[in-house]
Structure 1
Amino acid sequence: MLRKQNYLYGTTDVSIPNKKSFAKYLLDRFYQMREQIALINGATDNVLRYGQIVQEAMNLAISLTHLGVRTGDVVALCTENRDEFWGTMLGIICTGAVFTPYNPTYSAGEMKHVLDISKPSYLICSPLAYKAHEKTFEGTNRLKRIILYGDESVKNTVLYNDLVIAGSNGESELVFRNKLSRNVRYEEFEVADPIDGLDGVVVIMYSSGTTGLPKGVQITHSNVICACSSSILRFTRPKSLIVTPWFHVMGLVGSAINLFAGQSIIVYLPRFNVELYLKTIEKYKVGQLFLVPAILVALNKSENKYDVSSVDTIMCGASPLPKDVAELTQKRFPNVPGILQGYGMTECTLGVCVNEYKNGEIKKPDSNGTVVPCTVVKIVDIETRDALGAHRTGEICVKGSMLMKGYLGVDRRETFDEDNFFRTGDIGYYDEDGYLYVVDRLKELIKYKSFQVAPAEIEALLLQHEAVRDAGVVGIPDREAGEVPIAFVALQPGRTVTEKELQDFVAERLSNPKRLRGGVRFLSEIPKNASGKILRKELRNLTKNNISKL
């Protein structure tokens, strides 16, 4: 078959090993590197080696099986980033069960929603997550067991440590009275085969929910193996820093890729704090940062003084990176030749496009890079659905080996076209060299008369104002124009600015349809999800309320 005109093709030089599951693929690799350091907790300085992850995973898998977990069951994990995460994840999938990570900062309604989607039989969670969602968890009748991290016993729960820390009672049985008698040996351990082989679902993740309630994204064994076997988003420095939550695809799959490669020790933080983040860079001489634009904005506007000269690589994704933020970042991190941007989504097991350094510089720093291996991209006209050529803006559609199996409970025809391309809902274009540029979300575009206004462009401009710390823009109904832009702004400490001053600031710099005809409202913080994306649905809800103006 001939390649189609106006399609962007990634390379196909990815070797998929003959493994029966992602669990076997990961366990064998981790065992090979068992003496190496895998992770360092930047908040506690605790060091975790690959061998410790393997031991914990095998012990947990045997204990879970003893508790009743079977191939095909769904086991949920609700926690912030912590040392037990990777042993837990690997242990769950070694049983043949499907792993699903929950965001502990979900509201009660969102938590109930994802529980109803994935229908887990077992749940493992941190004390913080359990305290926040205890009533919701207890109201879920389908949960057979709730397993808690930590040492504090809670009625009707099982302690995680009792499942992974072996006793010393000398019994010949591996499991005695619901507790491990000894550590499981790698030579005697067998990973359970998934029901549908490499095409079976290994993890259920959740779409970001920026435009509605999260959808359950079914990621297969082959999806994740393909991602780990490619070179996308691979850390190349001795130490890399990540604060992205592991319940998010950028954190989970991005870290899995790099743990599998074993080329960089991952220093991680449970949550973002500007001072701790900068202090961690200085302490561990971190060379590479893996983050989202919201963190870059916070770092650039912080006055904390730490030595960050060790950083020479920054990879950024999850939302558009304003040009001025990129320029300020390079001043803050003088040894970084440019910010590497990527474009991806949960539905594509992380990556669609990524940029890279060539001869010490980025060829097109404003772009999201070129298509990753085993992936095909087309840009289609929003109305006719015809594939467009270079420099023509339309909806980004994707297919390939890393594309999800589908949404749980949703007919594929609702989100895939007749050629099996996933309709992303993102707007973008590519240039004559095949570099992709993402403009905005289709559902987030503001329709002012016959014009389509991208909120990200207005937000990027507002961030240039010296009084603005953060900003979010949405459209509100207008009888004559259809919709008009309204801005929500968080101010810098000690700074003031009026609504009219910001409206004039935008009007002087952007075209007529992009003026803030809906006004400006001031908030202490712009609502965002864990990956740093603006929660525009919350901003739209705020437009219905009477928020005071400065």
Structure 2
Amino acid sequence: MASTEPAAVADSTTRAEPLETIAELIGGPRIDDLLHRAAGRHPERPALRSATGDLSYAELDAQASACASALRALAGGPDEVIGIAAELDPVFAVGYFGITRSGNVAAIVNPLLTGERLLHVLSTSACRVLIVSPRLYPALAEVRGRLPELRHVVLTERAPELGQEAQALPVLGELMAAAPEFIPAERNAQEEQEAGRVAGLHFTSGTTGAAKAVRLTHRNLTVNAAQTVSGHRLDASSVIFNYLPTFHLMHLTIGVCAGATHVLWTDDDVAAAVAAASRYGVTHFYSLPMRLTRLAAHPALRELEAPRLRAILSGGSTLPPSSALALGQHFGVPVMQGYGLTETSPSTHFDNIDRPKTGSSGVLVPGTEARIVDVDTREVLPVDAKGEIQVRGPQVMKGYLGRDLSRDVDADGWFSTGDVGRIDAEGYLFVVERIKDTFKCDNWLVSPSEIERVLFRHPAVDDCVVFDRPHPVSGAVAYALVVPRSADADPGELAAFVNEAVPYYEHLHHVELVESIPRSQTGKVQRRDVREQWLAAHGG
């Protein structure tokens, strides 16, 4: 497997090794070619393991073709938008590869969305067909009348509790059983044209406004799957443990790209999850910071073992260093984070599994470049200077739906991420903050996340969030909401603890003790919403 470690750099611009180093991992011009290749190489190997049983690569490939035939009959095509709810269930894998194999475009729908947000996703994407689980159907029923372009709704399974209207809807398995044999559509003569077609619409998290639909091509997704397999050191002997509340496409594509076995685990008990990982012989454990933090503090951690484990991989938000240290020391494996966005398919950086660096998001994946630019002047900054992260590579999106790519990617191919970070002399990226969450105090750029990291080191802090409070002289100053671990926590002591460790412009001017801090299903704090709620409650 190729190394992902870049050479030392003079300024913040870093360049990874060329794509040729992972060429053998790219199974063809289309994302569903990854599955067809894996089925040819490892037909009997379990592709997916879950509570409903095992699905081999040959079975998954056959089901994807049956699904493609059923969807082609239902939606026509090519290039019709078919939505699918990303439940952590084998049906997502069957449905996703079925949509793409049918020549249509997959719109990935978060199954945790409520009515209005679901309406936004489906109407923005002009979704014609939606494959939906009974779990999401009630939210869909609320807004179905406002979706004139949605022609067909297909359930993943029968659910008598949903009522008479839902019972009349088709079920995916029934459509697949009745579908004719799948005949692949004739492809373009040029593979590059096929690879450049849009494979899916993926929605941003919406933390800085309404969620945007990102157009990702087959090439974006196949290349990034191979880049990630390289960065995570995956191969056909790997066993991936997927311990997230929804099915992220990256985990599906990297498992198939490597020909690995992919375990789907939905039990919220973190200790039970590790026990299951041990039984399955898991090598790569994927989860969210909030679950890994709970695991690190679990009283049964000392008794938990996972003998084949090679790495714990965290994504979605920043994992507290103390949690990473506790898990790394106990299991004796690197606890890794990466960096990427929906717009980059999603990954650009991964921590080096052979030489991880605490607090970093790692080094570039093959075929990718990154640099740090001044937030205002856009000049390229030197090593270790903080500014906006820009990236360039084959995984950068084709553009937002309904918007020209030139508005978001410059003439040289650089995409501005909206994140503040720095790159050290060895090419490791350290992500600091979203630009919209940073503020200036006395014209110094302040990152609330960096202040939070210091706060989390205090033993009295269970959770916290820092945001800017308007100040008549400095422009803005740092303010913290803290969930204490005990009733006798002293806000003044917490502020002093932080202020001794940070420069003056990052000083906390006030600490307020609260019972809880609102977080999303993936553990993210909507900092802007918290700030606006606080300002509204305190008269601006």
TM-score range normalised by the length of the shorter chain: 0.7 to 0.9
Whether the aligned pair in 2 keeps the contact of 1:468 and 1:489 (CA below 8 Å) is yes
Answer yes or no: is 1:269 the counterpart of 2:265: yes
Whether the aligned pair in 2 keeps the contact of 1:211 and 1:536 (CA below 8 Å) is no
1:349 to 345, 350, 353: 345
Moved over 6 A (4+): none
Deviations 1:345-394 (Å, cap 9, x if unpaired)? 11111221112233xxx253343222111111121122221222222222
Helix, strand or coil at the partner of 2:449: helix
Which gives a bigger RCO, structure 1 or 2 (Cα 8 Å, sep 6+)?
2
Helix, strand or coil at the partner of 2:47: strand
The structure-2 alpha-carbon separation of the partners of 1:271 and 1:483, relative to structure 1 and needing over 3 Å to count, comes to: farther
Whether the aligned pair in 1 keeps the contact of 2:106 and 2:199 (CA below 8 Å) is yes
Aligned pair count reads 514
Deviates more, 1:216-225 or 1:495-504: 495-504
Deviates more, 1:283-292 or 1:102-111: 283-292
The match for 1:240 is 240
1:326 CA drift (Å): 2.2
Whether the aligned pair in 2 keeps the contact of 1:210 and 1:534 (CA below 8 Å) is no
Deviates more, 1:409-418 or 1:441-450: 409-418
| Paired AA for residue 509 in structure 1 | A
1:141 CA drift (Å): 1.1
Unaligned runs of 5+ in 1: 167-178
For residues 294 and 487 of structure 2, what CA distance do their matches in structure 1 show? 16
| Paired AA for residue 232 in structure 1 | G
Whether the aligned pair in 2 keeps the contact of 1:79 and 1:126 (CA below 8 Å) is no
Deviations 1:213-247 (Å, cap 9, x if unpaired)? 21111110111121233313343564221223555
- What is the TM-score normalised by the length of structure 2? 0.87
Whether the aligned pair in 2 keeps the contact of 1:527 and 1:538 (CA below 8 Å) is no
Deviations 1:479-513 (Å, cap 9, x if unpaired)? 33322223333455x76534444333323433333
| Paired AA for residue 88 in structure 1 | G
The structure-2 alpha-carbon separation of the partners of 1:303 and 1:496, relative to structure 1 and needing over 3 Å to count, comes to: farther
Whether the aligned pair in 1 keeps the contact of 2:204 and 2:213 (CA below 8 Å) is yes
For residues 534 and 271 of structure 1, what CA distance do their matches in structure 2 show? 23
| Paired AA for residue 505 in structure 1 | F
For residues 301 and 490 of structure 1, what CA distance do their matches in structure 2 show? 16
Q: CA RMSD in A?
A: 2.7
Whether the aligned pair in 1 keeps the contact of 2:111 and 2:246 (CA below 8 Å) is no
Q: Percent identity?
A: 27
Helix, strand or coil at the partner of 1:543: helix
The match for 1:72 is 79
| Paired AA for residue 543 in structure 1 | W
1:129 CA drift (Å): 0.8
1:454 CA drift (Å): 1.2
Answer yes or no: is 1:8 the counterpart of 2:14: yes
The match for 1:174 is none
Counterpart mapping for 1:108-119 below 5 A: 108-119=115-126
Helix, strand or coil at the partner of 1:457: helix
Deviations 1:257-306 (Å, cap 9, x if unpaired)? 122211x3222223644243233234334332123333322211222344
Deviations 1:380-421 (Å, cap 9, x if unpaired)? 122221222222222111111111101112333432234220
For residues 99 and 297 of structure 1, what CA distance do their matches in structure 2 show? 33
Helix, strand or coil at the partner of 2:32: helix
1:544 CA drift (Å): 3.8
The structure-2 alpha-carbon separation of the partners of 1:462 and 1:147, relative to structure 1 and needing over 3 Å to count, comes to: same
Higher helix share: 2
For residues 197 and 267 of structure 2, what CA distance do their matches in structure 1 show? 32
Helix, strand or coil at the partner of 1:440: strand
The match for 2:35 is 26
For residues 410 and 440 of structure 1, what CA distance do their matches in structure 2 show? 26
Answer yes or no: is 1:97 the counterpart of 2:94: no
The match for 1:207 is 204
For residues 450 and 161 of structure 1, what CA distance do their matches in structure 2 show? 60
Counterpart mapping for 1:441-452 below 5 A: 441-452=434-445
| Paired AA for residue 197 in structure 1 | E
For residues 449 and 261 of structure 1, what CA distance do their matches in structure 2 show? 50
For residues 437 and 279 of structure 1, what CA distance do their matches in structure 2 show? 32
Helix, strand or coil at the partner of 2:495: helix
Answer yes or no: is 1:190 the counterpart of 2:202: no
Helix, strand or coil at the partner of 1:40: strand
1:63 CA drift (Å): 1.2
Whether the aligned pair in 1 keeps the contact of 2:34 and 2:256 (CA below 8 Å) is no
For residues 350 and 129 of structure 2, what CA distance do their matches in structure 1 show? 36
Helix, strand or coil at the partner of 1:341: strand
Whether the aligned pair in 2 keeps the contact of 1:80 and 1:270 (CA below 8 Å) is no
1:35 CA drift (Å): 0.8
For residues 193 and 350 of structure 1, what CA distance do their matches in structure 2 show? 27
Helix, strand or coil at the partner of 1:326: helix
2:422 to 421, 426, 429: 429
